[in-house]
Structure 1
Amino acid sequence: MLYSVVILVCSFSVSPSECRPETAIDVVQGPKVPSQSQCGFQGQATIARTTLAPREGLEYLKIVCRRGEA
């Protein structure tokens, strides 16, 4: 089973539990990975090597791991 890394940019006015692709300001599709732990690591690595950054005090980032097809 593969997992897809999805990075969400959400407003501080949206709680982390409500931060989903439908409520996010922006959605960034990351790589496919073989495990949930790799999903977290690759999500952080993707953020680190891009210019993706939330506006301080207005937004935050959330990494989501979605199950995909093998």
Structure 2
Amino acid sequence: MTPYSILILICSLSVSPSDCRPETAIDVVQGPKVASALQCGLMGQTTIAGVAIAPREGQEYMKIVCRRPA
């Protein structure tokens, strides 16, 4: 099974969630690789809890992205 890669994106509030991608994010944190989409969502939340970066309140938000390698 192809693993998923977890990306944690920090995007500006001026960028809609659908347009928040690694190319448009202010910062990108590479998370661990996992075997399923469910694990990606759960580990993505765990990764957010353990990283030192945080969005600036009222200016930015975080988004979890699960990608399969190309």
For normalisation by structure 2, the TM-score amounts to 0.93
Instruction: Give percent identity, aligned residues only.
Output: 70
Q: CA deviation at 1:49?
A: 1.3
Cα shift at 1:50: 1.8
In the comparison of the two structures, how many residue pairs are matched?
69
RMSD of the alignment, in Å?
1.0
The equivalent of 2:13 in structure 1 is 12
Give the Cα separation in 2 of the matches to 1:12 and 1:38: 27
Unpaired runs of 5+ in structure 1?
A: none
Q: Tell me the alpha carbon deviations over residues 4-57 of structure 1, each in whole angstroms, 9 at most, x when there is no partner.
A: 000000000000000001100001100000000100111110110122210000
Structure 1 runs of 4+ off > 2 angstroms? none
Gaps of 5+ in 2: none
Distance in 2 separating the partners of 1:10 and 1:50: 16
Which structure 2 residues correspond to residues 1-70 of structure 1 after superposition, within 5 A? Answer: 1-68=2-69
Structure 1 length-normalised TM = 0.93
